[in-house]
Amino acid sequence: MIDAQPTRPQQIRHVAVIGGGVSGLAAAHRLTELAPEIQFTLLEASERLGGALETIRREGFLIEGGADNFITTAPWALDLCRRIDFSEQLIQTNSNCRHAFVIRRGKLRPIPDGFVVMAPNKIWPIMTTSILSPFGKLRLACERFVRAGEIRDESVASFCRRRLGRETYERLVQPLIGGIYTGDPEKLSLRATMPRFAEMEEKHGSLSRAMSNARTPDDSSSGARYSLFVAPRDGMTSMVDAIAARLPAGSIQLNTKVAELAHTSSGWRVATADGEAFEYDAVILATPASVTARLVADTDRRLARELDGIHHTSCSIISLGFRRDQVAHPLDGFGVVAPHIENRSILSVSFSSLKYAGRAPDGSVLIRVFIGGGCQPELADLADDQLLDLATRELGELLGVRGAPQLTHVSRPGAVMPQYYVGHRDRVERIRERAGQLAGLFLAGNAFVGVGVPHCIHMGEQAAEHVVETLRGGAPRDASRNALSP
């Protein structure tokens, strides 16, 4: 057990931010902005900051080991970039090829213009696509006449088959959802992953009717949606570094694994793996759900069980650099998604250097292949040479790639993508209630209400805001909202 005494003057407020991913960094930065009088220490177990965000430069290629961009309709990442004077470093997607492909019987077919994840906004592209059979198109056209469901929470797959038909689900929605969440839509909760579509059904009775009634830039077409994504010119790590540069000197401790967390009468004691222990007034846990569960297990086993119940998937990312003349396909899009019924060994393919400038040397292209996920978890754990063989074989069949790549790199982010299964929102509410009973404990990260970079930033910033409010004596009336804000 932890037996160290406090090592700070009693009058100084000191906060521990555990986890140096983008959520923890956002929390630390927000503390600096709002309350410079509050001291904090950011504890990161690994040798670097950024978590799943990592940029590697090799032989003129810029390789991302995780997410390579973020969406701007959720405003929190863009707002943070503005506040740290980083927004001028953001670049938009290539405007010449803002669409993607889906595999149909081994061939690449463009995703119909106006089909936004699972809602059609334009009739003609759907009616003329070769992805769906005549029967599939007819069933999709009947979506306006399908009655609204009465299930409180259902899977994405169930919702899509009910509203759009089995073929549209299998050929379009499943691969798109798989590409976003690397998960199995048969298990994912619609209301937790994509509540917008449940709301569209409730309000308008039909997805297509809702899209027709609200033509926003986000909804107008699949190509327009791609325009809403941005990336740092020098990679995601440059944004991580820009946030870290705004933090006080000495506030970051790398290679510092937290071994034990204990709730005391005066706050929280944090013990590290090297035997040191310190006392803090509050703790922000910006760690993966499994790590958070381990750290709170001695304090609240029920809370730990709820956190452990949040599943995660693994996906290996194989980055391959080729000379442009090695690739037969025109690469006139941003990438490819693979329906599970096509029995491919890949989830998706991203044409990284076509999406954003500066990702490959002149005359070369950078392609990322995603393998594993919720439907084929065993593939993510293959050896590097096996993953490279799978990736190059698939690219040869789909894109006409010939010859050995100029560059190869395998990234293994690990089980970092949370899966919001049916019932997830109820689980999060139980976590909120349990954690809310532990004064001075605040949770952040992608395991709760959003998996993208903007939501991670938002969660971290909200945690910091609640810490400041609590330590200044103005705790919200609902104490449970301190621990985990929606």
Which residues of the chain are in CATH 1.10.3110.10 domains? 111-226
Exposure class string for 168-199: b at 16+ Cβ within 10 A, else e: bbbbbbbbbbbbbbbbbbebbbbbbbbebbbe
pLDDT in tens, 385-406: 999 999 999 999 999 999 999 9
Contacts of 152 (CB under 8 A, 6+ apart): none
Which tokens in the block code for residue 190? 């619609």
Q: Is 415 helix (H, G, I), strand (E, B) or coil?
A: strand
- Cβ atoms of residues 249 and 236 within 8 Å: no
Which residues of the chain register pLDDT less than 50?
1-10, 216-224, 477-480, 486
Neighbours of 222 (CB within 10 A): 21
CATH 3.90.660.20 residue spans of the chain = 55-97+312-418
pLDDT of residue 438: 95
Residue 484 pLDDT: 66
For tokens 């050995």, name the residue: 404
Coil, helix or strand at residue 352: helix
Residue 270 structure tokens: 């944090």
The structure's pTM equals 0.92
What is the predicted pLDDT for the residue at 474? 60
Classify burial at 378, counting beta carbons within 10 Å of its beta carbon; exposed 0-12, middle 13-18, buried 19 or more.
exposed
Domain 14-51+235-310+421-483 in CATH 3.40.640.10? The answer is: no
User: What is the rounded CA–CA span in Å between residue 482 and residue 435?
Assistant: 9
pLDDT of residue 224: 46
Give the phi and the psi of residue 198 in degrees, each rounded to 5.
Answer: -65, -40
What's the pLDDT tens digit per position in 158-189? 999 999 999 999 999 999 998 889 999 999 99
Topology adopted by domain 111-226: protoporphyrinogen ix oxidase, domain 3 (1.10.3110)
CATH number of 55-97+312-418: 3.90.660.20
Residues of the chain with CATH 3.50.50.60: 14-51+235-310+421-483
